[in-house]
Structure 1
Amino acid sequence: MALVSEFLGQLTLSFGGEREPTFPTVVPVRDFDPAKDAARIDTAIKTKGVDEQTIIDILTRRSYKQRRDIAFQYERIAKKDLVTALKGALSGSLEAVMLGLLKSTAQYDASELKSSMKGLGTDEESLIEIVCSRSSEELTEIKKVYKEMFKKDLDKDVAGDTSGNFAKLLLALVQTKRDEPSNVIDYEKIDQDARALYEAGVKRKGTDLVTWISIMSERSVPHLQKVFNRYKSYSPLDMKESIKMEVKGDLEKSFLTLVECFENKQLYFGNRLNEAMKSKGAKEKVVTRIIVSRCEVDLMKIRTEFKKQHGRSLYQTIFEHTKGDYQKALMSLCAGDD
């Protein structure tokens, strides 16, 4: 009973099978008229010098489904597809944002994964961010869409582009074997997993990565949150400190990303955005990917965590570290100051 009473104060009941709640900054607009929007975009593209502001105003303030309707109407009016028209009218970071908005969240993630594995050298940072931060439900949809878009299996591409234990961890995640959250808290399993993580790492010489990978890729998120809490009663180091001590390189980054996302996914994204905008000349690719991929998922909550952690709003930070039409598009997707 001691183990149970020790836990009761710190655990909340988590109900299984529920979809994660969403906190979007971009929602469907009321009184939506796709034909009117399409005509306005057509005029904006044909304007001498291109009227970027109109394109930004429309595409950043419509939901993905509404943008799809606009694209359909645009093709009817202009006799060419909207993607081709935007590629011809825009360039650089603004083009990347607008073309990203014409994909569903899963299509966007799939295309970002593809480009991170294309050509010479892999963009491990992007690969880690997407694979380690998406839920099993999101990864299942990404795999389906990836196959439709590129006629290839995501896991085969990941296996061909990565190696060693890094590849094993990513493949374990892509295979989506994670347990569904349960409304029953299994204290014994929490204790077993916490002890197994300790005995496979800090307690021994060399790390038993098979155990680490299987626990991190197969247990439900609420379960793992409790495991990491329990872990502290076995190990002198917390889970993140243990990872830093036991592994290095891409594998270390992957495990840390997983733990940070299990603990507070929106804070993880907030910190990524802060880091990407810290340097002179923001890491635009990272900023674009997070804002575009999360604006219909949880960007509102990312904004809250960002302000709490960094003492200034995401909106203000975007304003300070980006410029021009790209800045306007991001600020519109951010949808307000905090």
Structure 2
Amino acid sequence: MDPEYYQSHNMCWGTLGTVRPFPNFYPEQDVVKIQAALERKDAVTLVRILTNRTNAQRQVIANTFEELTQKDLATGVKKTLSGDVETLLLELLMPPLQYEAYRLQQAMVGLGTDENTLLEILCTQSGEKLREISTTYRQLFKKDLENELKGETSGDFTKLLLALLNKEAVVSGVQRDIESLSASLNGKKAETGPWINILTSRDSHHLNEVLQGLELQRGHVVDQVLEKRFTGDFQMGLKVLVQCIQNPDLYLARRLVNTKTPIVQGIMVSHSEEDLLCIRAAYLKLTGTSLYTALQKQYKGYHLQALLAICRSED
């Protein structure tokens, strides 16, 4: 464990992130070291500095680098590195809103759509954050995110995604919501509207009470109800949403078990300053193996060192 990390840990005691503000932060000194590392193609130094600063500190470094060298730091990283470690460091250099917009765009670009990544972001981010991401998406890609989602998906699944994108909290009674969801299941074909409206417009505490009440009333866990009464992408979307309502850390830990590089990097970069410690704990409980150990079995080289630095330690 880097002793400097302990210092930053003490500065931010109580945070659930693994990447914390670097103490005694001197961006000019970092820039001098980074410039030399770029000239020497020294990946070790680049990884050490960029994974041990918060995103806000990285933005200061990038701005200072441009002021002092008249060059763009991201461009320098592209020229110096390659492969997965290059991609990871470039992602770390993106401001958070830009990074989430980029992930959404990547999930829809080219042939096929990565519905799971769309759901991950839309289900785990707050309504306020998603509105900011939508604005950033338009600025970056000159396209409307809502229209992009409409073009990439269809039917009730589209309605669910748009409701998630535009979610706002609505106050309602628990029993009233239980009855609405239960009634929606009574017909020959289950109604999708109540599920979309209720699950995207209530706070998680309220929804957990609703889902527990629904399970008692129907005599089945919600996942079984969804399996029986809905199909296709809409069923998948509801199941992911329910998982995020019940235990978002466990949902993200399950995503990490996938071990596909874009998924692992996406979650680790997105959650490194917010709740990666919780996701690590859920991963250990789910798999019996720490995320730190699992990464070492899957990755190697400078890319592994960067991922381990973000993960920070064994559990």
> How many aligned residue pairs are there?
302
Residue 184 of structure 2 corresponds to which residue in structure 1?
A: 200
Structure 1: gaps of 5 or more residues = 1-20, 181-185, 278-282
Residue 26 of structure 2 corresponds to which residue in structure 1?
A: 33
Matches within 5 A, 1:27-66: 27-47=20-40, 50-66=41-57
CA contact 1:26–1:333 (8 Å) conserved in 2 = yes
Residue among 282, 288, 293 paired with 2:270: 293
CA contact 2:102–2:137 (8 Å) conserved in 1 = yes
State the superposition RMSD in angstroms. 1.6
- Give SS of 2:247's match: helix
- Give SS of 1:232's match: helix
Matches within 5 A, 1:220-239: 220-239=203-222
Matches within 5 A, 1:8-157: 23-47=16-40, 50-157=41-148
- Give SS of 2:279's match: helix
CA contact 2:59–2:95 (8 Å) conserved in 1 = no
Residue 18 of structure 1 corresponds to which residue in structure 2?
A: none
Rounded Cα–Cα distance in structure 1 between residues aligned with 2:314 and 2:262: 22
Q: Displaced runs of 4+ in structure 1, greater than 6 A?
A: none
* Residue 42 of structure 1, CA deviation: 1.1
Rounded Cα–Cα distance in structure 2 between residues aligned with 1:272 and 1:102: 23
CA contact 1:155–1:175 (8 Å) conserved in 2 = no
Residue among 213, 238, 249 paired with 1:255: 238
Residue 318 of structure 1 corresponds to which residue in structure 2?
A: 295
Rounded Cα–Cα distance in structure 2 between residues aligned with 1:145 and 1:207: 36
* Residue 80 of structure 1, CA deviation: 1.1
Residue 157 of structure 2 corresponds to which residue in structure 1?
A: 166
CA contact 1:132–1:254 (8 Å) conserved in 2 = no
Q: CA offsets, 1:118-171, max 9 Å, x none? A: 233222222122112222232122112212222322111111221111101000
User: TM-score of the superposition, structure 2-length normalised?
Assistant: 0.92
Rounded Cα–Cα distance in structure 1 between residues aligned with 2:75 and 2:191: 50
* Residue 285 of structure 1, CA deviation: 0.9
Aligned amino acid, residue 261 of structure 1? C
Residue among 286, 295, 304 paired with 2:281: 304
Structure 2: gaps of 5 or more residues = 1-13
Residue 337 of structure 1 corresponds to which residue in structure 2?
A: 314
Aligned amino acid, residue 52 of structure 2? R
Rounded Cα–Cα distance in structure 1 between residues aligned with 2:239 and 2:169: 18
* Residue 22 of structure 1, CA deviation: 5.4
Aligned amino acid, residue 123 of structure 1? D
CA contact 2:113–2:152 (8 Å) conserved in 1 = yes
CA contact 1:23–1:301 (8 Å) conserved in 2 = yes
* Residue 175 of structure 1, CA deviation: 1.2
- Bigger proportion of residues as helix: 2
Q: Which moved more, 1:117-126 or 1:293-302?
A: 117-126
Counting aligned pairs with the same residue, the percent is: 36
CA contact 2:180–2:194 (8 Å) conserved in 1 = yes
- Give SS of 2:18's match: coil
Q: CA offsets, 1:43-92, max 9 Å, x none? A: 11111xx1111111000110111101111121123321011111111222
Residue among 200, 214, 217 paired with 1:217: 200
Q: CA offsets, 1:99-136, max 9 Å, x none? A: 11111222111111012112332222221221122222
- Give SS of 2:71's match: coil
Residue 284 of structure 1 corresponds to which residue in structure 2?
A: 261
